[in-house]
Amino acid sequence: MLSIGELSRKTGVKVPTIRYYEQTGLLAAPERSGGNQRRYSTAELERLAFIKHARDLGLSIGDIRELLDLSAHPDRPCTDANRIAANHLATIRDKIARLQQLEAELDRIANGCHGERIENCYVIESLSNHALCKTPH
Q: Residue 95 binds which one of DNA, a second copy, none, with CB within 5 to 8 A depending on kind?
A: a second copy
Cβ distance to a second copy smaller for residue 15 or 123: 123
- The interface mask with a second copy, positions 89-108, x = CB under 8 A, is x--xx-xx--xx-xx-xxx-
Residues 6 or more apart whose Cβ sits within 8 Å of residue 112: 122, 126
CA-based torsion, 7, 11, 12, 16: positive or negative? negative
Q: Residue 131 binds which one of a second copy, DNA, none, with CB within 5 to 8 A depending on kind?
A: none
Q: Which of 1, 28, 57, 61 binds a second copy (CB under 8 A)?
A: 57
Cβ distance to a second copy smaller for residue 4 or 11: 11
Residues 6 or more apart whose Cβ sits within 8 Å of residue 81: 67, 70
Buried/exposed code over 11-40 (b: 16+ C-beta within 10 A; e: otherwise): bebeeebbeebbeeebbeebeeeeeeebeb
> Which stretches does DSSP call E strand in 17-76?
31-32, 38-39
Residues 126 and 135: their CA atoms lie apart, in Å, by 12
User: Contact positions toward DNA, by CB under 7 A?
Assistant: 3-6, 8, 14-17, 19-20, 33-38, 55, 60-62
CA 53 to chain centre: 10
**Least distance between DNA and beta carbon 25 (Å):** 12
Name the site residues for a second copy (rule: CB under 8 A).
46, 49-50, 53-54, 56-58, 67, 70-71, 73-78, 81-82, 84-86, 88-89, 92-93, 95-96, 99-100, 102-103, 105-107, 109-110, 113, 115-119, 121, 123-124, 127-128, 130, 137
